[in-house]
């Protein structure tokens, strides 16, 4: 449950992003409060994934400010000037967000537990035993106890995605970003991943999820954001945006599903 | 097929045949005659005859004294030349791998100056003949007669004639190593590119710096793509070392030439050298295979070993001799 005066985890304001002549994001403003689950819906090419990638600086926005937990991302403000951060400072900022990719992107040369342990050991300089203990707990949380030594190639898509979620959680992020987490999965494997995400929502994790699973969005989201052609068309609780859409684009999109 | 099973099947067929008109859907066992390939035999025979004729001519030639070949196989000068060939190969390949990795990362960096320098290096060293590069380094004193490091007049650093340092061996190592680096740079770059971009993005999203992502995530996976062609390079460098005989670097071919220039058994000694090169490349090939299998990259491993496939494709055996068919 989100409190009325819950702090803002994500505060994105007027985010623009172009690739050459093509403007993918035309001014996105979005907020995520602590413990809130926001689902991003919209046709492909609408800029949902690009926006998500801007939030953790995998893409650098051309214009617009993004703050996570009150910290400006990508820049340092000194007086009336913004100084771009170096790659190393950006890397440190990315620890505030955890990202789950469509294609899992598990490290192929490492087994499940090593995948989870790599970043906490390398970036947070955590103690080895403590990290292993934590990684085992996370694997248990995503329902993969006992698969510590399995390599990504030995796991199903659903299992790989669950390891990827555990890997992101190991960095104790303030905000979890999911970029179409079930789009690359066989239909019978979608459920196991969605139930892990649902469980995560119940722990009070703040999340932003790009998805095409409307019924999942309806049941898990506190807020649904519908995007098309690089702009936000409609925002609101699922009961409003999904069941009683006002904008033409939203009605059209939902009727095609 | 198991012969008792074939008998059983044939027995079943006979019973079925004596039972008068068969009901619909009944099956019978019939023998399968594999296709024969007479042209494989004819083509193979002609090629084999030509080979035997060629080998026979060489082996029985009155102009080749085989006893000389035997006498020089374990000759001290030859073995010393071989030792130098091996040292030269290992040192140049090591220089090539290290410098090649540096060049590859320069080429892939975001620094445009480094990119251009790396490209220019690769273009120059791949675009000119290795033989010219070897002669060039051996004669570098014509361009830079004196090598000076520091400020010798003031009492620190040193100064020396280039010719003192640039021996045939130094020139050989420089030429082979610098040339090899250009080829290794492309191999390493190809290996890095072969790792999907998502790996780097995932590492970044977890807070790894670019350096950490490269060394801990990308390069370990690039090794899969780098090891097999590096094995090939080992064999190429090994044979390329013979080129430095033009500057008399005392390796295997130089040693061979030195002997036959005094005793005039040219072909015999070339056979000795060629034989040793083959032994060394064979060992290198075995090492390469071992390394690849250790890294579990033997993706193209065949179900059947070569000798079985050889016999099978000649005789068309190993197929089912009997088959159950409808009707």
pLDDT in tens, B32-64: 887 888 898 999 999 999 999 999 998 898 888
Give tens-digit pLDDT for B159-186: 888 888 888 999 999 999 999 999 999 9
Residue B21 has pLDDT above 80, yes or no: no
Q: What is the mean pLDDT of residues A198-206?
A: 94
Check whether B313 has a pLDDT greater than 80: no
Average pLDDT over residues A224-248: 94
Digit-coded pLDDT (tens) for B117-166: 999 999 999 999 999 999 999 999 888 888 888 887 777 878 888 888 88
Q: What is the mean pLDDT of residues A51-74?
A: 93
Cβ–Cβ below 8 Å for B208 and A123: yes
What is the structure's pLDDT at B15? 47
Long-range contacts of B16-19 (CB under 8 A, 24+ apart): none
Q: What tens digit of pLDDT does each residue of A78-105 get?
A: 889 999 999 899 999 999 999 999 999 9
Highest mean pLDDT among A136-140, B27-31, B63-67: A136-140
Look at B206 and A95 and tell me if their CB atoms are within 8 Å.
yes
Please report the pLDDT score of residue B46 as a whole number. Answer: 96
pLDDT number for residue B138: 93
| DSSP code string of A89-117 | HHHHHHTTEEEE-TT----TTS-HHHHHH
Of B207, B209, B212, the CB nearest to A171: B207
Q: Is the dihedral of CA B301, B307, B310, B312 positive or negative?
A: negative
With a cut of 0.90, is the ipTM above it? yes
d(CA A213, CA B295): 40
Average pLDDT, integer, range A68-73? 92
B204 CB neighbours in chain A (<8 A) are: 58, 91, 94
Domains of chain B by start residue, with CATH: 3-40+314-326 (no CATH), 41-298 (1.10.3720.10)
Closest Cα in chain B, distance from residue A168 (Å): 7
Contact by Cβ (8 Å): A164, A196: no
CB contact under 8 A, A123 and B220: no
In DSSP terms, A256 is beta-bridged to: none
- CA A93 to each of CA A57, A90, B34, B305: distance values in angstroms, whole numbers, following the listed order: 9, 5, 69, 55
Determine the residue of chain B that is closest to A91 in CA distance.
B207
d(CA A101, CA A113): 18
Among partner residues A99, A106, A122, which is closest to B216 by beta-carbon distance?
A122
| Sequence-distant (≥ 6) Cβ neighbours of residue B109 within 8 angstroms | B115
How much is the average pLDDT of B294-315?
64
Chain A residue whose CA is closest to B196: A105
Q: What is the mean pLDDT of chain A?
A: 93
Residue B297 has pLDDT above 50, yes or no: no
CA pseudo-torsion sign B290, B292, B296, B299: negative
């Amino acid at each position: 449950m989100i409190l009325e005066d819950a702090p803002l985890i994500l505060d994105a304001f007027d985010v623009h992003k172009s690739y050459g002549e093509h403007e993918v994001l035309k001014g996105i403003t979005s907020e995520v409060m602590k413990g809130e689950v926001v689902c991003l819906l919209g046709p492909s090419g609408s800029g949902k994934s690009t926006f998500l990638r801007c939030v953790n600086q995998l893409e650098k926005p051309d214009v617009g400010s993004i703050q996570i937990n009150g910290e400006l991302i990508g820049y340092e403000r000194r007086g009336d000037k913004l100084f771009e951060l170096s790659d190393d400072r950006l890397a440190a900022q990315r620890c505030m967000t955890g990202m789950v990719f469509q294609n899992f992107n598990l490290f192929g040369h490492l087994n499940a537990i090593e995948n989870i342990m790599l970043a906490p050991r390398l970036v947070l300089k955590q103690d080895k035993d403590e990290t292993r203990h934590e990684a085992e707990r996370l694997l248990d949380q995503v329902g993969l106890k006992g698969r510590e030594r399995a390599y990504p190639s030995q796991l199903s898509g659903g299992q790989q995605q669950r390891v990827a979620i555990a890997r992101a959680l190991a960095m104790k992020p303030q905000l979890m970003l999911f970029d179409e987490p079930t789009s690359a999965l066989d239909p019978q494997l979608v459920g196991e991943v969605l139930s892990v995400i649902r469980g995560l929502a119940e722990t009070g994790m703040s999340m932003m999820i790009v998805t095409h699973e409307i019924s999942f969005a309806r049941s898990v989201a506190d807020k649904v954001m519908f995007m098309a052609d690089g702009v936000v068309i409609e925002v609101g609780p699922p009961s409003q945006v999904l069941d009683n859409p006002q904008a033409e684009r939203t009605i059209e999109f939902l009727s095609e599903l | 097929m198991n012969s008792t099973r074939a008998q059983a099947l044939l027995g079943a067929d006979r019973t079925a045949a004596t039972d008068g008109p068969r009901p619909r859907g009944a099956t019978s066992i019939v023998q399968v005659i594999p296709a024969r390939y007479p042209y494989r035999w004819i083509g193979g025979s002609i090629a084999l005859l030509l080979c035997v004729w060629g080998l026979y001519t060489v082996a029985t030639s009155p102009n080749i004294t085989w006893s000389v070949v035997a006498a020089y196989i374990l000759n001290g000068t030859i073995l010393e030349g071989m030792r130098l060939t091996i040292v030269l190969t290992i040192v140049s390949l090591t220089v090539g791998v290290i410098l090649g990795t540096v060049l590859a990362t320069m080429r892939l960096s975001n620094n445009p100056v480094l990119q251009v320098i790396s490209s220019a290096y690769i273009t120059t060293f791949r675009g000119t003949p290795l033989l010219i590069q070897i002669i060039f380094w051996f004669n570098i004193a014509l361009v830079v007669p004196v090598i000076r490091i520091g400020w010798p007049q003031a009492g620190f650093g040193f100064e020396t004639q280039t010719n003192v340092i640039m021996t045939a061996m130094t020139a050989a190592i420089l030429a082979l190593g610098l040339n090899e680096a250009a080829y290794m740079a492309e191999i390493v770059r190809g290996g890095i590119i072969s790792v999907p971009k998502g790996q780097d993005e995932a590492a970044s999203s977890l807070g790894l710096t670019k350096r950490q992502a490269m060394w801990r995530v990308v390069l370990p996976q690039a090794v899969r793509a780098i090891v097999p062609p590096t094995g090939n390079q080992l064999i190429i460098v090994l044979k390329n070392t013979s080129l430095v005989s033009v500057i008399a670097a005392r390796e295997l071919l130089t040693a061979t030439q030195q002997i036959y220039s005094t005793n005039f058994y040219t072909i015999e000694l070339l056979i000795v050298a060629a034989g040793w090169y083959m032994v060394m490349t064979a060992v290198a090939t075995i090492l390469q295979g071992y390394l690849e299998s250790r890294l579990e990259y033997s993706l193209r491993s065949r179900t059947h070993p070569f000798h079985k496939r050889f016999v099978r494709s000649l005789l068309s055996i190993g197929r089912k001799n009997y088959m159950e068919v409808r009707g």
